[in-house]
Amino acid sequence: MKKGLLIVISGPSGVGKGTVRDKFVKDPELNLAYSISMTSRSMRPGEHDAVDYYFVSRERFEEAISNNELLEWTEFVGNYYGTPKDKVEELREQGKNVLLEIEVEGAMSVKAKCPEALTIFITPPSMEELEKRIRGRRTEAEEIVQQRLAKAQREMNLVSEYKYVVCNDDADLAAELISVIIKRHM
C-alpha cells in the first residue's frame, strides 16, 4: 500500500484554519486523517478533549517531551502545543493522508525531519482583517490578543518557506483550492 502524505497547514492564529479545514476534510476522495495535537492551554467554550486537542497539564506535556512522544512541539503564547508521533506514522502506513495544523516553528521542524511533507500556508486577506477576526473571538485578554497579533506578524514572514500559499478571503474557495492541491500530490 502506498504510504499516505504528510500535509502541514499553517497560518496565523485567527486566520480561519479550522473553518477551512472543516470544509475540505469532508471530501472523501482526500482520504484524510486529522492529527489531534496535544496542548497545555485551557479548553475554549465549544471545544472537546480528544476532538480539538488532547488537553493536558504542563507536567504531562513535559513528560511527553522527555519520552520523545512528539514529532514536533513548541511553546506558543505561554502554552505548549505538539504533535503525537506514533499516530502520524501509523496512519500514514495505513495509506491515510495525515493532516497537521500547526504553527510555523513546528512546521519548520516537521519539514526538516520529513522533507516530503506537503506544506500549505493560509494567509488572511489583510492584517486588519486578521485583527478583527482575533478580536471577534472575544475569549482572550488584551495581552494575549497582542501576543497572538505579534506572533501572526512573525509567522507571515515565513510564508516563502511553504510550498503553497492560499488566501482565506472566502473559506469555501480556500477549502476548494486546498482540496485541489492535495489531489495533485496524491
Q: Which residues bind ligand 5GP (CB under 6 A)?
A: 13, 37, 41, 72, 74, 76, 81-83, 101-103, 106
Least Å from the CB of residue 162 to ligand 5GP: 13
Q: How far is the CB of 145 from ligand 5GP (least distance, A)?
A: 12
The smaller minimum CB distance to ligand 5GP, of residues 2 and 98, is found at: 98
Q: Which is nearer to ligand 5GP, 15 or 182 (CB)?
A: 15
Compute the least distance from the CB of residue 165 to ligand 5GP, in Å. 16
CB of 43 to ligand 5GP, least distance (A): 10
Q: 4-25: buried (b, 16+ CB within 10 Å) or exposed (e) per residue?
A: bbbbbbbbbbbbbbeebbebbb
Q: How many CB atoms lie within 10 A of CB 133?
A: 17
Nearer residue to ligand 5GP within complex by CB, 81 or 121: 81
Neighbours of 75 (CB within 10 A): 12
Q: What percent helix, strand, coil does the chain show, rounded to 5?
A: 45, 25, 35
